[in-house]
Structure 1
Amino acid sequence: MQRLAMDLRMLSRELSLYLEHQVQVGFFGSGVGLSLILGFSVAYACYYLSSIAKKPQLVTGGESFSRFLQDHCPVVTETYYPTVWCWESRGQTLLRPFITSKPPVQYRNELIKTSDGGQILLDWFDNDNSKSYMDASTRPTILLLPGLTGTSKESYILHMIHLSEELGYRCVVFNNRGTAGENLLTPRTYSCANTEDLETVIHHVHSLYPSAPFLAAGVSMGGMLLLNYLGKIGRKTPLKAAATFSVGWNTFACSESLEKPLNWLLFNYYLTTCLQSSVNKHRHMFVKLIDMDHVMKAKSIREFDKRFTSVLFGYQTIDDYYTDASPNRRLKSVGIPVLCLNSVDDVFSPSHAIPIETAKQNPNVALVLTSYGGHIGFLEGIWPRQSTYMDRVFKQFAQAMIEHGHELSNM
């Protein structure tokens, strides 16, 4: 209660100062209007601090991992204060791309070949000016996996690279086939169930820097792909640890939620058109295998997956594909430390589908569940341009695993 009162006084004072500078004196010359605004502000502050600002729920499968995170990644146990004027799920999700900055990053591009004759575009941030790790052979490397239609240009990826630069780490972004401007050499794109391309990338990066600590972070679909890979491979991975953000745990539940009228209007239809645009650029590669006219008439992600993705990857039905794509069924087999940040109000990943009980059974898994934050939102502060709660979790966890990860084996 003492902390709550202190937070209330601080927030009330900030609101008062803000109004003092922003409100025109002429309009509130009598002081009555200003008093009403201040009264409302205090009432809102009380509601915000009692019902909105909350500590995340930390779910771990082992006491050792829990203590490790509390000691070295304290942000996961601290109160998360969503942006006071934008804490609702859809608002956070929609506004983040427009509000957050895009730190400038100079990439080095690399095309690598795949066993089927295809190619994958990797974007490297080498961080050659790192003062903490001047030896490139041992400089920590973080592999970043963007979301469904994302690339290395996404703001959340650029923020992760900026934070990694501060820590002295190197980053490499795995762009899914056909998404970043490179040509498709074979009639194949990507899916979050098929981990072959990710395995190729991980082994390629590790072969270049075998002595460097190696981590991975996946966002949304990138996180689903990463978890499916870890669930399949267990401990036999060169990755030291991994983090995921706003993962869709159960593809059926995700699809059902996104097909609700408002969510379809705000998110589903737009993402479907992005997927269609992405494959239509390479239409000539698929016309002999898939009815592309039918694909271009899809009105939802589920319809697109039914007509394109599941067919391209050889599934008999869309249900077969969605079952294989859901990472909740593989979480119990993850063999390295993994931190998974989700918001329980995320319409892309409904809270009832988050595998809390499964996570409790795996000592390598930690779920960090905030009450608010939306999908890849996690905005905080009055004007959240430079940093989000998700950024702070990423930075602290990466640093904790690089600098103190050895402690986990001793706990």
Structure 2
Amino acid sequence: MQRLAMDLRMLSRELSLYLEHQVRIGLFGSGVGLSLILGFSFAYACYYMSSIAKKPQLVTGGESFSRFLQDHCPVVTETYYPTVWCWESRGQTLLRPFITSKPPVKYRNELIKTADGGQISLDWFDDDNSKCYMDASTRPTILLLPGLTGTSKESYILHMIHLSEELGYRCVVFNNRGMAGENLLTPRTYCCANTEDLETVIQHVHSLYPSAPFLAAGVSMGGMLLLNYLGKMGPKTPLKAAATFSVGWNTFACSESLEKPLNWLLFNYYLTTCLQSSINKHRHMFVKQIDMDHVMKAKSIREFDKRFTSVMFGYRTIDDYYTDASPNRRLKSVGIPVLCLNSVDDVFSPSHETAKQNPNVALVLTSYGGHIGFLEGIWPRQSTYMDRVFKQFVQAMVEHGHELSSM
């Protein structure tokens, strides 16, 4: 038996060497395998360059704003090259939180009171080591608004702060009520239709640094809230300019897209559980006005909004709330320069309202990028297309914004 085992091992080894030799000679030795690989690579490269890598559409309601962006924010007219192995919408959306880095940021927290007795948590990055703006009273301030259930710890927020630090700017992150580990003092959370808390924050920050250029940037739901605020305030805002990223323009269309089977499985159900978790820790605050057991059985964002959000903010129906929450209906009233970055393939925002109805608004529309994705490069860990748009735009508005009034 021992002899047989030795013979079998020797036969196996010789057969392996023979097959390895034949495969090497038959494929790569003859060039067939290499030709197949090169042929596939060439075909994929041709498809990528012709169908994937494209210049974004720049839609503006005014020629002067368009010229300003082309002069001072050239990234909005340059070809966007999505990550070659991950350009599909859902892939970009799902992978960004795991691929991109989280730059270390040390915050200073501030709690401010609201008129109804609640509190809002602000996380400040003061940038006291700024060499460009050593005078804190005139140091540009960027207000950052995270997305749904997001906080100051999100990677895209940390990237914006890191880029702002490079420019010498100060940042402050607006954490919605009950988020970032803060307790609720009143039975009220937040939604993208109600701008009262944002108005409180903006007035507070402006009162601290009235001489500093003041800008804002909102991501996803944070961008919807920001646009609704700007549409409500018109030119009567202390903000000098604003930027939004991956905004849902029409809440009805967003909800319908996210309820498609695959999108529900990948995004909708998970976000619903995040919303439920965010309010369940404050459950005792809502039991008198809302059926919390019913809310916790919601299987979609629409069901959650119907059972909780719309009730919380006094809307008669979910349709009334979604109508009021859609930024597209307020776009005409925006009174300051606003740059909006969206992707055509964003399943969270399937419809993209034209920016031509307002000369103050510009829409940069990429063919790919997903929702808060915009990955680029072979291994997009340190920077994304969205980051570059943010940095160039805020710098352009701080340093050259005065040129817009003379155009």
| Superposed pair shares fold, TM > 0.5 | yes
Q: Which residue in the other structure is 1:378 paired with?
A: 374
Provide, for residues 14-45 of structure 1, a one-character-per-residue CA deviation record: whole Å limited to 9, x for no partner: 99999999999999565432332121111100
Q: Which residue in the other structure is 2:325 paired with?
A: 325
The 3 A distance-change label for structure 1 pair 35 and 395 is same
Q: Which residue in the other structure is 1:365 paired with?
A: 361
- When structure 1 is superposed on structure 2, of 44-53 and 10-19 the one drifting more is 10-19
Preserved CA contact (<8 Å) 1:89 1:347: yes
Q: Percent identity?
A: 95
Provide, for residues 351-402 of structure 1, a one-character-per-residue CA deviation record: whole Å limited to 9, x for no partner: 35xxxx6521211000000000000000000100000000000000000000
Q: Which residue in the other structure is 1:272 paired with?
A: 272
Q: Which residue in the other structure is 2:21 paired with?
A: 21
Provide, for residues 29-76 of structure 1, a one-character-per-residue CA deviation record: whole Å limited to 9, x for no partner: 654323321211111000000010000000000000000000000000
Preserved CA contact (<8 Å) 2:345 2:369: yes
The 3 A distance-change label for structure 1 pair 43 and 203 is same
Preserved CA contact (<8 Å) 2:249 2:349: yes
> Runs of 5+ in structure 2 lacking a partner?
none
Q: Which has the larger radius of gyration?
A: 2
The 3 A distance-change label for structure 1 pair 107 and 291 is same
Rounded to whole Å, the distance in 2 between the matches of 1:187 and 1:168 is 39
Rounded to whole Å, the distance in 1 between the matches of 2:384 and 2:3 is 22
Preserved CA contact (<8 Å) 1:373 1:379: yes
Preserved CA contact (<8 Å) 1:7 1:49: no
Rounded to whole Å, the distance in 2 between the matches of 1:349 and 1:53 is 21
Preserved CA contact (<8 Å) 1:290 1:311: yes
Q: Which residue in the other structure is 1:351 paired with?
A: 351
Question: How far apart are 1:272 and its partner, in Å?
Answer: 0.1
Provide, for residues 191-238 of structure 1, a one-character-per-residue CA deviation record: whole Å limited to 9, x for no partner: 000000000000000000000000000000000000000000000000
Preserved CA contact (<8 Å) 1:178 1:184: yes
Question: How far apart are 1:4 and its partner, in Å?
Answer: 63
The 3 A distance-change label for structure 1 pair 305 and 26 is farther
Preserved CA contact (<8 Å) 2:249 2:351: no
The 3 A distance-change label for structure 1 pair 174 and 36 is same
Rounded to whole Å, the distance in 2 between the matches of 1:31 and 1:307 is 64
The 3 A distance-change label for structure 1 pair 175 and 29 is farther
Rounded to whole Å, the distance in 1 between the matches of 2:3 and 2:395 is 28
- 1:23 alignment partner, SS class: helix
Rounded to whole Å, the distance in 2 between the matches of 1:350 and 1:3 is 70
The 3 A distance-change label for structure 1 pair 332 and 20 is farther
Preserved CA contact (<8 Å) 2:69 2:76: yes
Preserved CA contact (<8 Å) 1:332 1:358: no
- When structure 1 is superposed on structure 2, of 240-249 and 7-16 the one drifting more is 7-16
Rounded to whole Å, the distance in 2 between the matches of 1:19 and 1:106 is 59
Preserved CA contact (<8 Å) 2:93 2:372: yes
- When structure 1 is superposed on structure 2, of 8-17 and 189-198 the one drifting more is 8-17
Taking structure 2 as the reference length, the TM-score comes to 0.93
Rounded to whole Å, the distance in 1 between the matches of 2:311 and 2:147 is 21
- When structure 1 is superposed on structure 2, of 2-11 and 19-28 the one drifting more is 2-11
- 2:24 alignment partner, SS class: coil
Rounded to whole Å, the distance in 1 between the matches of 2:215 and 2:227 is 13
Rounded to whole Å, the distance in 2 between the matches of 1:13 and 1:228 is 72
The 3 A distance-change label for structure 1 pair 75 and 4 is farther
Preserved CA contact (<8 Å) 1:345 1:351: no
Rounded to whole Å, the distance in 2 between the matches of 1:292 and 1:330 is 32
Question: How far apart are 1:5 and its partner, in Å?
Answer: 60
1:288 and 2:281 matched? no
Provide, for residues 76-124 of structure 1, a one-character-per-residue CA deviation record: whole Å limited to 9, x for no partner: 0000000001100000000000000000000000000000000000000
Provide, for residues 99-156 of structure 1, a one-character-per-residue CA deviation record: whole Å limited to 9, x for no partner: 0000000000000000000000000000011000000000000000000010000000
The 3 A distance-change label for structure 1 pair 358 and 347 is closer
The 3 A distance-change label for structure 1 pair 215 and 27 is farther
The 3 A distance-change label for structure 1 pair 240 and 371 is same
The 3 A distance-change label for structure 1 pair 16 and 104 is farther
Rounded to whole Å, the distance in 1 between the matches of 2:300 and 2:374 is 26
Rounded to whole Å, the distance in 2 between the matches of 1:8 and 1:334 is 81
Rounded to whole Å, the distance in 1 between the matches of 2:220 and 2:326 is 12
- 2:29 alignment partner, SS class: coil
Rounded to whole Å, the distance in 2 between the matches of 1:9 and 1:396 is 65
Provide, for residues 221-256 of structure 1, a one-character-per-residue CA deviation record: whole Å limited to 9, x for no partner: 000000000000000000000000000000000000
- 2:401 alignment partner, SS class: helix
The 3 A distance-change label for structure 1 pair 308 and 62 is same
Preserved CA contact (<8 Å) 1:248 1:348: yes
Preserved CA contact (<8 Å) 1:179 1:278: yes
Rounded to whole Å, the distance in 1 between the matches of 2:19 and 2:172 is 44
- 2:111 alignment partner, SS class: strand
Rounded to whole Å, the distance in 2 between the matches of 1:125 and 1:246 is 24
- When structure 1 is superposed on structure 2, of 16-25 and 210-219 the one drifting more is 16-25
The 3 A distance-change label for structure 1 pair 80 and 8 is farther
The 3 A distance-change label for structure 1 pair 339 and 20 is farther
Rounded to whole Å, the distance in 2 between the matches of 1:3 and 1:358 is 81
Preserved CA contact (<8 Å) 1:8 1:46: no
Instruction: Please give the root-mean-square deviation of Cα atoms over the aligned residues, in Å.
Output: 10.3
The 3 A distance-change label for structure 1 pair 160 and 11 is farther
Rounded to whole Å, the distance in 1 between the matches of 2:7 and 2:133 is 39
- Number of residue pairs matched by the alignment: 407
